[in-house]
Amino acid sequence: MPRLISLAAVLLLAVGLAPVAHADPPPPPPADPADVIPVANNTAPPMDTGAVASEVPGIATTIDGRTITVAAKDEYQYPVPPLTTSLSSRDWIAGGTFTGSTTGNVAGGTLEVGYQIGCSVEMDKVKLGGALTGVLGNTNFGDSGAILPPSLALQGTGQFGVSPKPGTVTNVMVNKKTFKGTEVRVTLRDIHIRVDSCVGASSLRSYAILTSSSTDDDDIVGYYGVTKVF
């Protein structure tokens, strides 16, 4: 009888020490997209190369039936801080490839390449305006005590003013290439262009003028690039 009691006590103790099984907790609800914090993108933005789309080529047919063409490609223009640090100065870096071609029997010609700079308001001249507010008099004494003629000083207020004038367009020729065949090319790389005394918006565009020469005639056709406003 004592053995049965001891066995029952061991069984009860084993049952009491057995781990209690619990059901797995339910999965958390899906996160609201509005509460999700986006991960910062550490990728640096692409560098501005200043790429400018080129306009359609300039094409002309001469009286004697020849075709002359002037075109551009790979153009770029971007502003840089002016060395003068003045608000009235503009600086750009520009470049591109400009080509000219002719058909027929020709004696060559020239290809002029450059840029046109536009300024909406240009400073003309500086003027000084003011008003007299008083006269100051001083009595002067010489070394011997004699009274010398008094000196007068004018006291006034003044201001500087700038007289603006309507904007202008300036042609800046960079290169003029003479050729003897039927094709010509001018490539500009990192040309520094500067304009001063411009207090309004400024704009820039390329230009190329092709002159095709025959024995007794010159035929001219122009190309004008896309205008970029800075």
* Percent of the chain topping pLDDT 70: 61
Q: Which of 13-17, 57-61, 80-84, 102-106 tops mean pLDDT?
A: 57-61
Question: Where do the domains of the chain lie?
Answer: 49-125+166-229
Q: What is the CATH number of domain 49-125+166-229?
A: 2.60.40.1650
Mean pLDDT of 167-183: 91
Encode the chain in three state secondary structure.
Answer: CHHHHHHHHHHHHHHHHCCCCCCCCCCCCCCCHHHCCCCCCCCCCCCCCCEECCCCCEEEECCCCCEEEEEEEEEEEEEECCCCCCCCCEEEEEEEEEEEEECCCCCCEEEEEEEEEEEEEEEEEEEEEEEEEEEEEEEEECCCCCEEEEEEEEEEEEEEEEEEEEEEEEEEEEEEEEECCCEEEEEEEEEEEEECCECCCEEEEEEEEEEEECCCCEEEEEEECCCEEC
Average pLDDT for the chain: 76
Task: Dump pLDDT digits (tens) for 138-152.
Answer: 545 455 555 445 544
- pLDDT digits 0-9 by tens, 65-122: 999 999 999 999 999 998 888 888 889 999 999 999 999 888 899 999 999 998 888 7
